Copies of this chain bind each other. A is one copy, B any other.
Amino acid sequence: MHRVLLLPGDHIGPEIMAEARKVIDVLVAEFGFSVECETAHLGGCGVDAEGAPLPESTLRLAKASDAMLLGAVGGPEWDGIERELRPERGLLGIRAAMGLFANLRPAILFPELAAASSLRPEVVSDLNILIVRELTGGIYFGSPRGVEQRADGVREGFNTLRYDENEIRRIGEVAFAAAQRRGGQVCSVDKANVLESSELWREVMTDLASNYPDVTLSHMYVDNAAMQLVRAPKQFDVMVTGNLFGDILSDCAAMLTGSIGMLPSASLDEQGRGLYEPVHGSAPDISGQGVANPLATLLSLAMMLRHSLDEAALADHVEQAVRSVLQQGLRTADIAPQGTSAVGTRAMGDAVVEAL
């Protein structure tokens, strides 16, 4: 019996989570999937209902679960509140509290959706990159940090980028192991020509490579990596990088596909327990309209089945079902070519259920 925690979150979060729920129900009813689901607050809904973006009750349920599925958090209604209560604090908080250091972000172009990319088809066809981002260290969590008034009366803002050898090694191991199961290539991205923390990063990655003779390691500066993603993204197999560079590059890579509404992600701890979520955000501009694309959430569910619940066959079923609705020509508004008609969130979820 797997224990799964559902975290619908804010805005379109609950809408797309409802479709994941339907798919889970079918897996239980027809494929022998044995699961117990709980639901909890994370993000703005946590602030509204329990006074915190990561309520204690949520953290308790998270610790008791085998895996978590998140919709999305955030929205303008929480923009004005104090820093510690903002929705994204809930996300950063659960990553830290649960030790979810390894963020896996595939950037895959679905052949059916090639037209959605802003890049020329030949540049992105068959694109399949895995970005491995360190998620609980670096400048996101380093101290000292803050805004202070100096002796001369001028205010100064500061943050600290910090990585130790162990943090670098464990994310490197995730990347090398992933490359062994894929194209055998790891590109480590840093800014070692300027930052000492990147020098250590590069050194540790280089040392680590000797444990993986079947994987080829290369290094690239982050500015060049951003260029190469735009110029010739298919040169990459696995990219591994720190928290901030990974934030930027993974969004850039996701957008190359043109279909950010299709991309899942996983954030894993050292035991492989994870938080799974679509790469897209909470989309306040379309929330409540029933038009959000639920497929990234369903593909996140598939990733969860595969990586945390050891249910590869079920994961295959879900991924097949998603592929089949795309082949049938079903499109939500975000991936529908201009001038064509689109289906809503529920109709898309129902079609996947049907295809299962």
Contacts and interface: CB of A to CB of B under 8 A. Distances in A.
Interface stretch (A21-29, A63-71, A218-226): A218-226
Contact of A118 (B193, B223, B230, B250): B230
A256 to B, nearest CB: 6
Interface in A274-306: none
A151 interface: no
A162 interface: yes
Interface string A224-261: 10110111100000000000110111111011101010
A206 interface: no
A201 interface: yes
Interface residues of A, number: 60
Nearest to A158: B162
A163 interface: yes
A278 to B, nearest CB: 14
A88 to B, nearest CB: 5
A60 interface: no
User: How many chain copies does the complex carry?
Assistant: 2
A158 B194 CA distance: 12
B248 A222 contact: yes
B163 A156 contact: yes
Contact of A159 (B86, B197, B249): B197
A341 interface: no
A158 B165 CA distance: 11
A199 B161 contact: no
A247 B222 contact: yes
A181 interface: no
Nearest to A260: B227
A155 B227 contact: no
A171 to B, nearest CB: 14
Nearest to A168: B157
A264 B355 CA distance: 54
A139 interface: yes
A149 to B, nearest CB: 10
Interface stretch (A2-10, A34-42, A43-51, A140-148): A140-148
A75 to B, nearest CB: 12
A97 interface: no
Given A118-B230, A160-B161, A200 B155 contact: yes
Contact of A230 (B83, B164, B201, B252): B252
A37 B163 CA distance: 46
Interface string A338-353: 0000000000000000
11 contacts: A118-B230, A145-B196, A154-B165, A155-B164, A156-B162, A156-B164, A156-B200, A158-B196, A226-B249, A227-B255, A248-B248
